[in-house]
Chain A
Amino acid sequence: MFEQLKASHASGDLNDRKTLCEALAYQNYLDSPPHIQSEAEKIISTEGCDCVLGNSIKPEAAQCCLGAAVQFEGEVAYCMLPKKVIFPKPGAYAKQHPDFLLIAVLDMVLNSRRNVLFISDWKDDEGNTALPTPEQVNCGDLARELGLCWTTWNTGKAITIIAFDVELAYKPTWLDSGLAFYWYAAPRRAEWGLARSLETGRPTLREWVLPKRVGAFKIAAYWDREVEQDYNFSPDKLCADYWKACAKELRS
Protein backbone atom coordinates (compact mmCIF):
# COMPACT_ATOMS: atom_id res chain seq x y z
CA MET A 1 0.00 0.00 0.00
CA PHE A 2 2.69 2.42 1.06
CA GLU A 3 4.74 1.59 -2.00
CA GLN A 4 2.10 3.16 -4.21
CA LEU A 5 2.54 6.56 -2.58
CA LYS A 6 6.30 6.19 -2.77
CA ALA A 7 6.23 5.30 -6.47
CA SER A 8 3.95 8.24 -7.29
CA HIS A 9 6.35 10.53 -5.46
CA ALA A 10 9.47 9.08 -7.06
CA SER A 11 8.44 8.78 -10.68
CA GLY A 12 4.72 9.39 -11.12
CA ASP A 13 3.20 11.66 -13.72
CA LEU A 14 2.37 14.77 -11.70
CA ASN A 15 -0.02 15.93 -14.40
CA ASP A 16 -2.30 13.15 -13.25
CA ARG A 17 -4.33 14.41 -10.26
CA LYS A 18 -4.48 11.10 -8.40
CA THR A 19 -0.74 10.59 -8.78
CA LEU A 20 -0.09 14.16 -7.67
CA CYS A 21 -2.25 13.70 -4.57
CA GLU A 22 -0.36 10.52 -3.70
CA ALA A 23 2.95 12.28 -4.22
CA LEU A 24 1.87 15.19 -2.00
CA ALA A 25 0.82 12.72 0.68
CA TYR A 26 4.18 10.96 0.49
CA GLN A 27 5.96 14.33 0.75
CA ASN A 28 4.01 14.97 3.93
CA TYR A 29 5.20 11.58 5.16
CA LEU A 30 8.83 12.40 4.34
CA ASP A 31 8.55 15.78 6.04
CA SER A 32 7.14 14.27 9.23
CA PRO A 33 9.21 13.34 12.27
CA PRO A 34 9.95 9.60 12.72
CA HIS A 35 7.30 8.97 15.40
CA ILE A 36 4.63 10.45 13.11
CA GLN A 37 5.91 8.41 10.17
CA SER A 38 5.64 5.17 12.08
CA GLU A 39 2.08 5.97 13.23
CA ALA A 40 1.11 6.92 9.67
CA GLU A 41 2.55 3.67 8.33
CA LYS A 42 0.38 1.71 10.74
CA ILE A 43 -2.77 3.53 9.65
CA ILE A 44 -2.07 3.30 5.94
CA SER A 45 -1.26 -0.40 6.19
CA THR A 46 -4.66 -0.90 7.85
CA GLU A 47 -6.82 1.54 5.93
CA GLY A 48 -5.14 1.59 2.53
CA CYS A 49 -3.83 4.45 0.44
CA ASP A 50 -7.27 5.74 -0.43
CA CYS A 51 -7.45 7.32 2.98
CA VAL A 52 -4.98 10.02 1.98
CA LEU A 53 -6.86 10.87 -1.20
CA GLY A 54 -10.33 11.29 0.22
CA ASN A 55 -11.61 11.70 3.71
CA SER A 56 -11.39 8.08 4.59
CA ILE A 57 -9.50 8.07 7.84
CA LYS A 58 -11.50 6.98 10.83
CA PRO A 59 -11.43 9.77 13.42
CA GLU A 60 -10.35 7.41 16.15
CA ALA A 61 -7.55 5.93 14.06
CA ALA A 62 -5.02 8.72 14.51
CA GLN A 63 -3.49 10.07 17.66
CA CYS A 64 -3.53 13.83 17.88
CA CYS A 65 -1.29 16.60 19.18
CA LEU A 66 1.92 14.58 18.88
CA GLY A 67 3.76 17.56 17.37
CA ALA A 68 6.16 19.84 19.22
CA ALA A 69 4.57 21.72 22.10
CA VAL A 70 5.07 25.46 21.76
CA GLN A 71 4.22 28.48 23.82
CA PHE A 72 1.57 30.27 21.81
CA GLU A 73 2.78 33.81 21.33
CA GLY A 74 0.25 35.09 18.84
CA GLU A 75 -2.28 37.74 19.78
CA VAL A 76 -5.44 35.75 19.13
CA ALA A 77 -5.92 32.13 18.12
CA TYR A 78 -8.91 31.78 15.83
CA CYS A 79 -10.74 28.58 15.12
CA MET A 80 -13.58 28.28 12.64
CA LEU A 81 -16.31 25.67 13.09
CA PRO A 82 -19.39 25.01 11.02
CA LYS A 83 -22.35 25.00 13.42
CA LYS A 84 -22.67 21.32 14.09
CA VAL A 85 -24.61 21.39 17.31
CA ILE A 86 -28.11 21.07 16.15
CA PHE A 87 -30.09 23.45 18.27
CA PRO A 88 -32.71 25.34 16.35
CA LYS A 89 -33.06 29.11 16.33
CA PRO A 90 -29.51 30.13 17.26
CA GLY A 91 -30.53 33.78 16.87
CA ALA A 92 -32.22 33.63 20.24
CA TYR A 93 -28.79 33.53 21.88
CA ALA A 94 -28.42 37.21 21.13
CA LYS A 95 -30.71 37.92 24.09
CA GLN A 96 -28.49 36.10 26.55
CA HIS A 97 -25.79 37.46 28.83
CA PRO A 98 -22.32 37.54 27.17
CA ASP A 99 -20.81 35.17 29.76
CA PHE A 100 -23.52 32.66 28.91
CA LEU A 101 -22.75 32.91 25.25
CA LEU A 102 -19.09 32.13 25.77
CA ILE A 103 -19.99 29.10 27.84
CA ALA A 104 -22.48 27.97 25.22
CA VAL A 105 -19.81 28.14 22.53
CA LEU A 106 -17.44 26.20 24.78
CA ASP A 107 -20.09 23.51 24.99
CA MET A 108 -20.41 23.51 21.22
CA VAL A 109 -16.67 22.95 20.87
CA LEU A 110 -16.48 20.23 23.50
CA ASN A 111 -19.49 18.40 22.05
CA SER A 112 -18.06 18.34 18.53
CA ARG A 113 -16.64 15.11 17.08
CA ARG A 114 -13.21 16.67 16.64
CA ASN A 115 -10.26 15.26 18.52
CA VAL A 116 -8.16 18.25 17.74
CA LEU A 117 -8.80 21.92 16.98
CA PHE A 118 -6.84 23.69 14.28
CA ILE A 119 -6.14 27.29 15.26
CA SER A 120 -4.53 30.14 13.37
CA ASP A 121 -3.63 33.73 14.20
CA TRP A 122 -4.41 34.62 10.57
CA LYS A 123 -0.83 35.77 10.09
CA ASP A 124 1.60 34.66 7.41
CA ASP A 125 5.05 33.21 7.91
CA GLU A 126 6.52 36.70 8.37
CA GLY A 127 3.96 37.64 11.01
CA ASN A 128 1.88 39.92 8.80
CA THR A 129 -1.87 39.82 9.29
CA ALA A 130 -3.34 38.22 6.17
CA LEU A 131 -7.07 38.43 6.81
CA PRO A 132 -9.39 41.20 8.03
CA THR A 133 -11.30 41.07 11.31
CA PRO A 134 -13.70 38.21 12.13
CA GLU A 135 -16.64 40.52 11.45
CA GLN A 136 -15.32 41.46 8.03
CA VAL A 137 -13.60 38.35 6.75
CA ASN A 138 -15.20 36.62 3.81
CA CYS A 139 -16.11 33.06 4.86
CA GLY A 140 -14.97 31.69 1.52
CA ASP A 141 -11.57 33.41 1.82
CA LEU A 142 -11.24 32.01 5.30
CA ALA A 143 -11.87 28.39 4.28
CA ARG A 144 -9.67 28.81 1.20
CA GLU A 145 -6.71 30.30 3.09
CA LEU A 146 -7.00 27.80 5.93
CA GLY A 147 -6.76 25.03 3.33
CA LEU A 148 -10.07 23.42 4.23
CA CYS A 149 -10.31 21.15 1.23
CA TRP A 150 -13.64 19.26 0.82
CA THR A 151 -15.52 22.15 2.40
CA THR A 152 -18.83 22.65 0.62
CA TRP A 153 -20.94 25.47 1.94
CA ASN A 154 -24.22 26.84 0.70
CA THR A 155 -25.44 30.39 1.15
CA GLY A 156 -26.68 31.00 4.67
CA LYS A 157 -24.77 28.13 6.27
CA ALA A 158 -24.00 29.07 9.87
CA ILE A 159 -20.38 29.07 10.95
CA THR A 160 -18.78 30.30 14.14
CA ILE A 161 -15.40 31.98 14.36
CA ILE A 162 -14.00 31.53 17.84
CA ALA A 163 -11.14 33.44 19.45
CA PHE A 164 -9.29 31.26 21.93
CA ASP A 165 -7.12 32.29 24.80
CA VAL A 166 -4.26 29.83 24.46
CA GLU A 167 -0.98 29.32 26.27
CA LEU A 168 0.27 25.95 25.08
CA ALA A 169 -0.28 24.79 21.51
CA TYR A 170 1.24 22.12 19.28
CA LYS A 171 2.74 22.17 15.83
CA PRO A 172 0.25 20.28 13.62
CA THR A 173 1.26 16.85 12.35
CA TRP A 174 0.12 14.80 9.40
CA LEU A 175 -1.90 12.68 11.83
CA ASP A 176 -3.78 15.75 13.06
CA SER A 177 -4.79 16.47 9.48
CA GLY A 178 -6.15 12.93 9.03
CA LEU A 179 -3.29 12.09 6.62
CA ALA A 180 -4.63 14.60 4.14
CA PHE A 181 -2.75 15.22 0.89
CA TYR A 182 -3.76 18.90 0.97
CA TRP A 183 -2.08 19.51 4.30
CA TYR A 184 1.45 20.96 4.40
CA ALA A 185 4.10 19.80 6.85
CA ALA A 186 6.07 23.08 7.08
CA PRO A 187 9.29 21.14 7.69
CA ARG A 188 11.45 24.24 8.15
CA ARG A 189 9.26 25.73 10.86
CA ALA A 190 9.61 24.40 14.38
CA GLU A 191 7.21 26.78 16.09
CA TRP A 192 4.17 26.61 13.82
CA GLY A 193 2.62 24.89 10.84
CA LEU A 194 1.46 26.60 7.67
CA ALA A 195 -1.92 26.06 6.03
CA ARG A 196 -1.77 25.53 2.28
CA SER A 197 -3.99 28.00 0.41
CA LEU A 198 -6.53 26.29 -1.81
CA GLU A 199 -6.21 29.13 -4.30
CA THR A 200 -2.46 29.43 -4.79
CA GLY A 201 -1.30 26.06 -3.51
CA ARG A 202 1.30 27.95 -1.46
CA PRO A 203 1.67 27.73 2.33
CA THR A 204 0.08 30.83 3.83
CA LEU A 205 -1.41 31.11 7.31
CA ARG A 206 0.36 30.04 10.48
CA GLU A 207 -1.47 27.28 12.30
CA TRP A 208 -1.31 25.18 15.43
CA VAL A 209 -3.45 22.51 17.02
CA LEU A 210 -5.04 22.12 20.43
CA PRO A 211 -6.43 18.99 22.02
CA LYS A 212 -10.20 19.19 22.40
CA ARG A 213 -10.44 18.96 26.14
CA VAL A 214 -11.45 21.09 29.08
CA GLY A 215 -8.58 23.30 30.20
CA ALA A 216 -6.65 23.30 26.91
CA PHE A 217 -8.04 26.72 26.01
CA LYS A 218 -10.45 29.42 27.04
CA ILE A 219 -12.92 31.05 24.74
CA ALA A 220 -12.32 34.77 24.58
CA ALA A 221 -14.95 35.76 22.03
CA TYR A 222 -16.90 34.42 19.11
CA TRP A 223 -18.64 35.62 15.99
CA ASP A 224 -21.60 33.92 14.32
CA ARG A 225 -21.41 34.33 10.58
CA GLU A 226 -23.53 33.23 7.66
CA VAL A 227 -21.79 32.04 4.54
CA GLU A 228 -22.28 34.75 1.92
CA GLN A 229 -22.47 32.55 -1.19
CA ASP A 230 -22.05 28.94 -2.32
CA TYR A 231 -18.54 27.49 -2.08
CA ASN A 232 -17.22 24.13 -3.16
CA PHE A 233 -13.63 23.30 -2.29
CA SER A 234 -13.72 19.61 -3.12
CA PRO A 235 -10.51 18.47 -4.87
CA ASP A 236 -12.03 18.32 -8.35
CA LYS A 237 -13.12 21.96 -8.00
CA LEU A 238 -9.70 23.37 -7.02
CA CYS A 239 -8.16 25.68 -9.60
CA ALA A 240 -5.29 24.85 -11.96
CA ASP A 241 -2.92 27.22 -10.14
CA TYR A 242 -3.28 25.14 -7.00
CA TRP A 243 -2.24 21.93 -8.71
CA LYS A 244 0.54 23.65 -10.67
CA ALA A 245 2.06 25.11 -7.49
CA CYS A 246 1.88 21.75 -5.72
CA ALA A 247 3.55 19.94 -8.64
CA LYS A 248 6.23 22.62 -8.88
CA GLU A 249 6.98 22.29 -5.19
CA LEU A 250 7.43 18.53 -5.52
CA ARG A 251 9.71 18.87 -8.53
CA SER A 252 11.96 21.44 -6.88
Chain B
Amino acid sequence: MNTQEILSILRGEQGINPNRGIEEDDLLEMTFFELPKTEHDAFWAALAEAMTTLLANNDDLPLYLACRFIFSMSEIKPPHLPHKINLFAFLLDEPTNSASPFILAGRLLALLVLNKGDEKFWKRQVDASLDSLEAAPDNSHAMAAVVYAFLGCNGKASISAEQWGKLFIALTRLPELPRMELLELLVGVEKESSDQPLMKEELDLGMDALRTSSKNTNPDLASVFRAWLDKNEPRQAIADWLSRELSPHEPEARKMSPRHRITQIMNSRRAAA
Protein backbone atom coordinates (compact mmCIF):
# COMPACT_ATOMS: atom_id res chain seq x y z
CA MET B 1 0.00 0.00 0.00
CA ASN B 2 1.64 3.22 -1.05
CA THR B 3 1.08 6.86 -0.25
CA GLN B 4 -0.95 7.54 -3.41
CA GLU B 5 -3.34 4.69 -2.68
CA ILE B 6 -3.89 5.97 0.86
CA LEU B 7 -4.47 9.50 -0.44
CA SER B 8 -6.98 8.18 -2.94
CA ILE B 9 -9.00 6.48 -0.20
CA LEU B 10 -8.84 9.47 2.15
CA ARG B 11 -9.94 11.84 -0.61
CA GLY B 12 -13.02 9.72 -1.25
CA GLU B 13 -11.91 8.64 -4.71
CA GLN B 14 -12.57 5.00 -3.84
CA GLY B 15 -16.13 5.90 -2.92
CA ILE B 16 -18.07 6.11 0.33
CA ASN B 17 -21.63 5.52 1.46
CA PRO B 18 -22.13 7.32 4.77
CA ASN B 19 -25.84 6.53 4.86
CA ARG B 20 -24.89 2.85 5.13
CA GLY B 21 -22.07 3.58 7.57
CA ILE B 22 -19.13 3.42 5.15
CA GLU B 23 -16.72 6.35 5.18
CA GLU B 24 -13.14 6.87 4.06
CA ASP B 25 -11.61 5.80 7.37
CA ASP B 26 -13.66 2.58 7.31
CA LEU B 27 -12.23 1.74 3.91
CA LEU B 28 -8.74 2.54 5.15
CA GLU B 29 -9.28 0.27 8.15
CA MET B 30 -10.55 -2.51 5.89
CA THR B 31 -7.51 -2.10 3.66
CA PHE B 32 -5.15 -2.15 6.63
CA PHE B 33 -6.46 -5.46 7.90
CA GLU B 34 -6.25 -7.02 4.47
CA LEU B 35 -2.50 -6.36 4.43
CA PRO B 36 -0.08 -9.02 5.66
CA LYS B 37 1.30 -8.07 9.09
CA THR B 38 4.76 -7.74 7.57
CA GLU B 39 3.48 -4.73 5.61
CA HIS B 40 1.99 -2.85 8.54
CA ASP B 41 5.14 -0.83 9.25
CA ALA B 42 5.31 0.25 5.62
CA PHE B 43 1.63 1.19 5.76
CA TRP B 44 2.17 3.53 8.73
CA ALA B 45 5.12 5.15 6.98
CA ALA B 46 2.99 5.68 3.87
CA LEU B 47 0.13 7.05 5.98
CA ALA B 48 2.47 9.54 7.66
CA GLU B 49 3.68 10.67 4.24
CA ALA B 50 0.11 10.97 2.97
CA MET B 51 -0.84 13.06 5.99
CA THR B 52 2.15 15.33 5.42
CA THR B 53 0.91 15.93 1.89
CA LEU B 54 -2.62 16.61 3.08
CA LEU B 55 -1.36 19.04 5.70
CA ALA B 56 0.80 20.88 3.17
CA ASN B 57 -2.21 21.23 0.85
CA ASN B 58 -4.58 22.25 3.64
CA ASP B 59 -6.69 19.26 2.59
CA ASP B 60 -8.68 19.38 5.77
CA LEU B 61 -11.39 16.70 5.71
CA PRO B 62 -9.11 13.90 4.43
CA LEU B 63 -6.54 14.80 7.08
CA TYR B 64 -9.20 14.75 9.77
CA LEU B 65 -10.36 11.32 8.55
CA ALA B 66 -6.78 10.03 8.69
CA CYS B 67 -6.58 11.18 12.31
CA ARG B 68 -9.94 9.58 13.04
CA PHE B 69 -8.56 6.36 11.55
CA ILE B 70 -5.63 6.50 14.00
CA PHE B 71 -8.08 7.00 16.86
CA SER B 72 -10.18 4.10 15.66
CA MET B 73 -7.11 1.85 15.52
CA SER B 74 -6.41 2.72 19.14
CA GLU B 75 -9.89 1.60 20.20
CA ILE B 76 -10.00 -1.90 18.79
CA LYS B 77 -8.72 -4.82 20.83
CA PRO B 78 -5.79 -5.18 20.79
CA PRO B 79 -4.98 -1.63 19.63
CA HIS B 80 -3.09 -1.40 16.36
CA LEU B 81 -0.90 1.67 16.53
CA PRO B 82 2.40 2.33 14.77
CA HIS B 83 5.55 1.12 16.48
CA LYS B 84 7.43 4.18 15.30
CA ILE B 85 5.26 7.01 16.56
CA ASN B 86 7.98 9.48 15.61
CA LEU B 87 6.71 9.09 12.07
CA PHE B 88 3.91 11.38 13.18
CA ALA B 89 6.09 13.97 14.92
CA PHE B 90 5.26 16.42 12.11
CA LEU B 91 1.85 16.84 13.75
CA LEU B 92 3.59 18.72 16.56
CA ASP B 93 4.45 21.55 14.19
CA GLU B 94 2.03 24.41 14.59
CA PRO B 95 -0.35 24.66 11.63
CA THR B 96 -0.75 27.85 9.68
CA ASN B 97 -3.21 30.48 10.81
CA SER B 98 -5.54 29.45 8.02
CA ALA B 99 -5.77 25.85 9.23
CA SER B 100 -9.40 24.83 9.44
CA PRO B 101 -11.03 23.39 12.58
CA PHE B 102 -10.90 19.96 10.90
CA ILE B 103 -7.12 20.15 10.89
CA LEU B 104 -6.88 21.56 14.40
CA ALA B 105 -9.17 18.89 15.82
CA GLY B 106 -7.69 16.04 13.81
CA ARG B 107 -4.05 16.64 14.67
CA LEU B 108 -4.77 17.11 18.37
CA LEU B 109 -6.81 13.91 18.47
CA ALA B 110 -4.03 11.96 16.78
CA LEU B 111 -1.41 13.42 19.12
CA LEU B 112 -3.62 12.56 22.09
CA VAL B 113 -3.88 8.96 20.94
CA LEU B 114 -0.16 8.73 20.18
CA ASN B 115 0.64 10.36 23.53
CA LYS B 116 2.88 13.00 22.03
CA GLY B 117 3.48 16.60 23.09
CA ASP B 118 4.83 17.97 26.34
CA GLU B 119 3.26 20.29 28.94
CA LYS B 120 4.15 23.46 27.07
CA PHE B 121 2.83 22.11 23.81
CA TRP B 122 -0.59 21.22 25.22
CA LYS B 123 -0.93 24.52 27.09
CA ARG B 124 -0.29 26.29 23.79
CA GLN B 125 -2.95 24.17 22.12
CA VAL B 126 -5.53 25.21 24.71
CA ASP B 127 -4.97 28.85 23.82
CA ALA B 128 -4.83 28.20 20.09
CA SER B 129 -7.97 26.09 20.08
CA LEU B 130 -9.88 28.62 22.18
CA ASP B 131 -8.89 31.33 19.70
CA SER B 132 -10.11 29.14 16.88
CA LEU B 133 -13.41 28.55 18.67
CA GLU B 134 -13.84 32.26 19.16
CA ALA B 135 -13.43 32.75 15.41
CA ALA B 136 -15.79 29.92 14.50
CA PRO B 137 -18.21 29.53 17.41
CA ASP B 138 -20.70 27.36 15.55
CA ASN B 139 -18.17 24.82 14.38
CA SER B 140 -18.31 21.53 16.23
CA HIS B 141 -14.78 20.60 15.16
CA ALA B 142 -13.47 23.84 16.63
CA MET B 143 -15.12 22.79 19.87
CA ALA B 144 -13.69 19.30 19.55
CA ALA B 145 -10.20 20.80 19.20
CA VAL B 146 -10.72 22.60 22.50
CA VAL B 147 -11.79 19.37 24.14
CA TYR B 148 -8.73 17.52 22.88
CA ALA B 149 -6.43 20.32 23.97
CA PHE B 150 -7.91 20.24 27.46
CA LEU B 151 -7.64 16.48 27.62
CA GLY B 152 -4.09 16.70 26.37
CA CYS B 153 -3.24 18.78 29.42
CA ASN B 154 -4.50 16.09 31.79
CA GLY B 155 -1.65 14.88 33.92
CA LYS B 156 0.77 17.25 32.20
CA ALA B 157 -0.37 20.80 32.79
CA SER B 158 -3.10 22.44 34.83
CA ILE B 159 -5.58 24.68 33.05
CA SER B 160 -5.39 28.22 34.33
CA ALA B 161 -8.41 30.11 35.60
CA GLU B 162 -8.01 32.45 32.68
CA GLN B 163 -8.30 29.56 30.25
CA TRP B 164 -11.35 28.13 32.03
CA GLY B 165 -12.94 31.55 31.97
CA LYS B 166 -12.23 31.93 28.29
CA LEU B 167 -13.76 28.54 27.63
CA PHE B 168 -16.96 29.34 29.49
CA ILE B 169 -17.32 32.65 27.72
CA ALA B 170 -16.86 30.83 24.42
CA LEU B 171 -19.49 28.27 25.43
CA THR B 172 -22.04 30.89 26.29
CA ARG B 173 -21.54 32.51 22.89
CA LEU B 174 -22.19 29.37 20.91
CA PRO B 175 -25.39 29.48 18.85
CA GLU B 176 -26.19 25.94 19.93
CA LEU B 177 -25.04 24.42 23.12
CA PRO B 178 -22.18 21.97 22.46
CA ARG B 179 -23.65 19.31 24.65
CA MET B 180 -21.55 16.38 23.63
CA GLU B 181 -18.35 18.34 23.77
CA LEU B 182 -19.18 19.76 27.14
CA LEU B 183 -19.69 16.29 28.49
CA GLU B 184 -16.25 15.41 27.30
CA LEU B 185 -14.88 18.40 29.06
CA LEU B 186 -16.47 17.13 32.23
CA VAL B 187 -14.57 13.93 31.79
CA GLY B 188 -11.40 15.93 31.50
CA VAL B 189 -12.29 17.99 34.53
CA GLU B 190 -13.01 14.87 36.55
CA LYS B 191 -9.61 13.53 35.77
CA GLU B 192 -8.18 16.64 37.38
CA SER B 193 -9.76 15.76 40.72
CA SER B 194 -6.42 14.96 42.34
CA ASP B 195 -5.46 18.53 41.59
CA GLN B 196 -8.65 19.94 43.09
CA PRO B 197 -7.17 22.42 45.64
CA LEU B 198 -5.06 24.02 42.96
CA MET B 199 -7.98 24.23 40.61
CA LYS B 200 -10.19 25.76 43.29
CA GLU B 201 -7.55 28.38 43.96
CA GLU B 202 -7.34 29.19 40.29
CA LEU B 203 -11.08 29.42 40.02
CA ASP B 204 -11.22 31.74 43.00
CA LEU B 205 -8.91 34.01 41.09
CA GLY B 206 -11.03 33.59 37.99
CA MET B 207 -14.18 34.49 39.92
CA ASP B 208 -12.53 37.58 41.35
CA ALA B 209 -11.54 38.63 37.88
CA LEU B 210 -15.09 38.12 36.67
CA ARG B 211 -16.56 40.06 39.60
CA THR B 212 -14.38 43.07 38.88
CA SER B 213 -15.77 43.25 35.37
CA SER B 214 -19.26 42.10 36.38
CA LYS B 215 -21.08 44.72 34.30
CA ASN B 216 -20.38 42.78 31.17
CA THR B 217 -20.49 39.35 32.72
CA ASN B 218 -23.14 36.92 31.66
CA PRO B 219 -24.98 36.01 34.91
CA ASP B 220 -25.22 32.39 33.81
CA LEU B 221 -21.49 32.26 33.45
CA ALA B 222 -21.02 33.73 36.89
CA SER B 223 -23.48 31.25 38.37
CA VAL B 224 -21.55 28.40 36.86
CA PHE B 225 -18.39 29.55 38.54
CA ARG B 226 -20.22 30.15 41.80
CA ALA B 227 -21.81 26.72 41.77
CA TRP B 228 -18.49 25.22 40.91
CA LEU B 229 -16.87 26.85 43.91
CA ASP B 230 -19.76 26.25 46.32
CA LYS B 231 -20.09 22.58 45.63
CA ASN B 232 -16.47 21.91 44.94
CA GLU B 233 -17.90 19.46 42.44
CA PRO B 234 -17.39 20.71 38.91
CA ARG B 235 -19.22 17.90 37.17
CA GLN B 236 -22.44 18.40 39.12
CA ALA B 237 -22.21 22.19 38.89
CA ILE B 238 -21.92 22.13 35.13
CA ALA B 239 -24.60 19.46 34.91
CA ASP B 240 -27.01 21.71 36.81
CA TRP B 241 -26.20 24.64 34.56
CA LEU B 242 -26.58 22.57 31.44
CA SER B 243 -29.92 21.20 32.62
CA ARG B 244 -31.25 24.72 33.02
CA GLU B 245 -29.91 25.71 29.62
CA LEU B 246 -31.44 22.70 27.91
CA SER B 247 -34.83 22.59 29.53
CA PRO B 248 -36.50 25.24 27.29
CA HIS B 249 -35.25 23.44 24.17
CA GLU B 250 -36.21 19.88 25.03
CA PRO B 251 -39.50 20.07 26.95
CA GLU B 252 -41.11 17.04 25.27
CA ALA B 253 -38.08 14.82 25.60
CA ARG B 254 -37.86 15.55 29.29
CA LYS B 255 -41.53 14.91 29.99
CA MET B 256 -41.77 11.48 28.44
CA SER B 257 -39.16 9.69 30.60
CA PRO B 258 -38.05 7.60 27.66
CA ARG B 259 -35.73 5.26 29.48
CA HIS B 260 -38.57 4.15 31.72
CA ARG B 261 -40.78 3.59 28.69
CA ILE B 262 -38.23 1.54 26.81
CA THR B 263 -37.56 -0.57 29.90
CA GLN B 264 -41.27 -1.36 30.09
CA ILE B 265 -41.32 -2.44 26.45
CA MET B 266 -38.29 -4.66 26.96
CA ASN B 267 -39.77 -6.21 30.09
CA SER B 268 -43.04 -7.00 28.36
CA ARG B 269 -41.12 -8.51 25.45
CA ARG B 270 -39.12 -10.71 27.82
CA ALA B 271 -42.30 -11.75 29.65
CA ALA B 272 -43.94 -12.69 26.33
CA ALA B 273 -40.91 -14.76 25.33
Q: Which residues of B contact A84 (CB under 8 A)?
A: 23, 68
Contact A151 B239 (CB under 8 A): no
Contacts A87-B147, A92-B190, A99-B254: A157 and B19 contacting too (C-beta < 8 A)?
no
A4 within 8 A of B: no
Contact A85 B33 (CB under 8 A): no
In the assembly, what is the distance between CA of A58 and CA of B19, in Å? 10
Q: Which residues of A contact B17 (CB under 8 A)?
A: 55, 57, 59, 150, 178, 180
Q: Which residues of B contact A156 (CB under 8 A)?
A: 75-77
Q: Which residues of A contact B21 (CB under 8 A)?
A: 81-82, 148, 151
Instruction: Report the minimal beta-carbon distance from A178 to chain B, rounded to whole angstroms.
Output: 4
In the assembly, what is the distance between CA of A219 and CA of B26, in Å? 26
In the assembly, what is the distance between CA of A64 and CA of B17, in Å? 13
Contact A152 B140 (CB under 8 A): no
Contact B179 A112 (CB under 8 A): no
* CB-CB contacts below 8 Å: A110-126 with B: 111-116, 118
Q: Which residues of A contact B227 (CB under 8 A)?
A: none
Contact B109 A86 (CB under 8 A): yes
Contact B180 A104 (CB under 8 A): yes
Instruction: Report the minimal beta-carbon distance from A229 to chain B, rounded to whole angstroms.
Output: 10
* CB-CB contacts below 8 Å: B192-233 with A: none
Contact B262 A220 (CB under 8 A): yes
Contact B253 A154 (CB under 8 A): no
B85 within 8 A of A: no
Number of B interface residues, CB 8 Å?
A: 58
Contact B19 A232 (CB under 8 A): no
How many chain A residues sit at the interface, stated as a range, is 35 or more
Q: Looking at chain A's contact residues, is the secondary structure mostly helix, strand, loop, or mixed?
A: loop
A38 within 8 A of B: no
Contact B19 A218 (CB under 8 A): no
* Chain A minimum-CB-distance residue to B77: A156
Contact B68 A152 (CB under 8 A): no
Q: Which residues of B contact A226 (CB under 8 A)?
A: 77
In the assembly, what is the distance between CA of A88 and CA of B149, in Å? 12
Contact B259 A221 (CB under 8 A): yes
A251 within 8 A of B: no
How many A-B pairs with Cβ below 8 Å? 156
Contact B184 A87 (CB under 8 A): yes
| Of B12, B151, B184, most A-chain CB atoms within 10 Å | B184
* Chain B minimum-CB-distance residue to A64: B19
Instruction: Report the minimal beta-carbon distance from B156 to chain A, rounded to whole angstroms.
Output: 15
B186 within 8 A of A: yes
Q: Which residues of A contact B183 (CB under 8 A)?
A: 93, 96, 100, 104
Contact B75 A75 (CB under 8 A): no
Contact A148 B147 (CB under 8 A): no
In the assembly, what is the distance between CA of A129 and CA of B272, in Å? 11
B271 within 8 A of A: no
Instruction: Report the minimal beta-carbon distance from A249 to chain B, rounded to whole angstroms.
Output: 21
A216 within 8 A of B: no
Instruction: Report the minimal beta-carbon distance from A242 to chain B, rounded to whole angstroms.
Output: 17
A158 within 8 A of B: yes
* CB-CB contacts below 8 Å: A197-240 with B: 218-221, 226, 230, 232, 234
A68 within 8 A of B: no
Of B50-58, B92-100, B116-124, B242-250, the stretch lying at the interface with chain A is B242-250
In the assembly, what is the distance between CA of A61 and CA of B183, in Å? 34
A43 within 8 A of B: no
* CB-CB contacts below 8 Å: B166-196 with A: 179-181, 183-184, 186-187, 190
In the assembly, what is the distance between CA of A57 and CA of B13, in Å? 10
Contact B16 A103 (CB under 8 A): no
A15 within 8 A of B: no
In the assembly, what is the distance between CA of A120 and CA of B116, in Å? 42
Q: Which residues of B contact A98 (CB under 8 A)?
A: 259
In the assembly, what is the distance between CA of A157 and CA of B180, in Å? 20
B36 within 8 A of A: no
Cross-chain contact of B30 among A89, A104, A108, A232 (Cβ < 8 A): A232
B83 within 8 A of A: no
4 more A-B residue pairs beyond the given contacts A152-B26, A221-B258, with a C-beta to C-beta distance below 8 A? A55-B15, A87-B144, A156-B77, A230-B33
Chosen A-B contacts, 19 in total, with CB atoms closer than 8 Å, are A56-B14, A59-B17, A82-B21, A86-B71, A88-B112, A89-B187, A95-B190, A98-B259, A100-B239, A100-B242, A102-B258, A102-B259, A103-B250, A156-B75, A178-B20, A218-B256, A220-B258, A230-B33, A234-B30
Closest 8 CB pairs of A and B: A56-B15, A156-B77, A107-B180, A220-B258, A221-B262, A92-B187, A55-B17, A178-B17
Q: A-side interface residues toward B, CB under 8 Å? A: 50-51, 54-59, 64, 75-76, 81-82, 84-89, 92-93, 95-100, 102-104, 106-108, 111-116, 118, 129, 133, 148-152, 154-158, 163, 165, 176-178, 180, 218-221, 226, 230, 232, 234
